[in-house]
């Protein structure tokens, strides 16, 4: 468990908005050294100016987390400036909708690149650095937080790529937890599984790679985007509240972090279906009107 954050270093990807920015704001209040990372330069510049104004040490870099080379350069810069980070928030993520077979290869590569490979790079580059610091100091403590989603525990339709990416992050983080327990008592990890929270992820298309500009959205993608906009926009739990849950979990060494615990009933139903070997349940059982609307829209397309 970690109670003292002052003077500790945190790397935060996706720090220009949403959970990343809110975690940076909490980190600044706690007197931490903060490494702010985002792919969107204007959002990163605004976040950097805000956090620097608090007086804490800040390292800010525009990085595409899906890039092996850019992430390796970031890790080297962090080590040179602050040494091994005590905290890594692998938070950068993009949303995506559409029927599984309608998504292009570039759709798959983009979403998996950010949502999964971004986390992989964060884990593979910073974990060895953190373990090395722990081996030199018995009092050193560290924690890695990977942002997944409730879509990493459920399989909502018309969101295939996103579901796949977030299921992989949950699996990766659960395995990381077990692997770390084999080698150290000084470093741990958590997985964040938020539900619909207003973070800006529903506007992920603003950061789509330029080479995808010629791809026209399919009808299922447009329908999925509209549904996500509505769900995220009506979210009652704020990104700031979720960020506080993250720090509370770090302090308590709690692995699973949920923004909407009531949604776990759906997870339980899915797990029971797997154990009982029943076919996947209707995801719209509690809100049949939504399912009826989606089916009607897709069958008209």
157-216 pLDDT, tens digit per residue, is 999 999 999 999 999 999 999 999 999 999 999 999 998 776 555 454 555 666 666 677
The answer to whether the beta carbons of residues 7 and 56 sit under 8 Å apart is: no
Task: Specify whether 195 is catalytic.
Answer: no
In a domain, 242, yes or no: yes
Q: How many domains does the chain have?
A: 1
> Is the pLDDT reported for residue 68 higher than 70?
yes
Instruction: Note whether 242 and 194 are within 8 A (CB).
Output: yes
Give a yes or no: residue 285 inside a domain: no
Task: Specify the pLDDT at position 196.
Answer: 76
Q: What is the pLDDT of residues 102-154, one digit of tens each?
A: 999 999 999 999 999 999 999 999 999 999 999 999 999 999 999 999 999 99
Q: State the Cα–Cα distance between residues 185 and 72, nearest whole angstrom.
A: 26
Residue that has been written with the tokens 């939504």 in this structure:
290
- Looking at residue 222, its pLDDT comes to 85
Q: Is residue 105 part of a domain?
A: yes
**269 within a domain of the structure (yes/no):** no
- What strands lie across the sheet with 58-62, from one edge to the other? 58-62, 33-38, 9-13, 87-90, 142-147, 187-193, 256-258
DSSP 116: I
Residue 102 to residues 60, 220, 293, 296: CA-CA distances in angstroms? Answer: 37, 8, 20, 18
- Residue 110: domain span: 9-263
Distance CA 298, CA 301 (A): 5
Q: Tell whether 288 is covered by a domain.
A: no
Q: The domain that contains 55 carries what CATH number?
A: 3.40.50.720
Is 280 inside any structural domain? no
Q: Note whether 122 and 143 are within 8 A (CB).
A: no
pLDDT grade, residue 285 (50/70/90)? confident
Q: Tell me the C-alpha distance between 246 and 191, whole Å.
A: 9
For the chain, give the mean pLDDT. 91
pLDDT of residue 202: 43
Residue 8 pLDDT greater than 80, yes or no:
yes
Does some domain include residue 95? yes
Weakest-pLDDT range from 59-73, 205-219, 260-274: 205-219
* Percentage, residues of the chain above pLDDT 90: 74
Task: Please report the DSSP string for 221-265 in residue order.
Answer: HHHHHHHHHHHHHT--S-HHHHHHHHHHHHHHT-SEEES-GGGHH
């Amino acid at each position: 468990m970690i109670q003292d954050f002052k003077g500790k270093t945190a790397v935060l990807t996706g720090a220009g908005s949403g959970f990343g920015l809110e975690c940076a704001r909490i980190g600044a209040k706690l007197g931490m050294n903060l490494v702010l990372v985002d792919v969107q330069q204007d959002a990163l510049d605004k976040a950097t100016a805000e956090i620097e104004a608090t007086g804490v040490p800040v390292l800010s870099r525009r990085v595409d987390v899906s890039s092996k080379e850019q992430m390796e350069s970031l890790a080297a810069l962090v080590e040179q400036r602050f040494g091994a980070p005590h905290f890594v928030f692998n938070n950068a993520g993009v949303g995506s909708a559409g029927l599984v077979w309608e998504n292009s290869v570039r759709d798959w590569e983009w979403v998996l690149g950010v949502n999964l490979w971004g986390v992989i790079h964060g884990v593979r580059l910073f974990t060895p650095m953190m373990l090395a610091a722990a081996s030199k100091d018995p009092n050193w403590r560290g924690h890695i937080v990977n942002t997944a989603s409730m879509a990493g525990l459920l399989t909502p339709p018309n969101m295939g790529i996103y579901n796949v990416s977030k299921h992989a992050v949950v699996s990766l983080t659960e395995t990381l937890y077990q692997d770390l327990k084999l080698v150290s008592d000084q470093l741990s990890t958590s997985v964040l599984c938020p539900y619909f929270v207003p973070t800006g992820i529903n506007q992920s298309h603003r950061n789509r790679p330029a080479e995808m500009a010629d791809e026209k959205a399919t009808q299922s993608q447009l329908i999925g985007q509209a549904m996500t906009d509505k769900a995220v926009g009506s979210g009652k739990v704020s990104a700031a509240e979720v960020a506080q849950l993250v720090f509370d979990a770090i302090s308590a060494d709690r692995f699973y972090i949920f923004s909407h615990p009531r949604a776990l009933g759906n997870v339980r139903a899915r797990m029971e279906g797997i154990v009982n070997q029943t076919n996947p349940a209707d995801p719209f059982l509690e809100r049949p009107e939504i399912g009826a609307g989606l089916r009607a829209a897709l069958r008209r397309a």
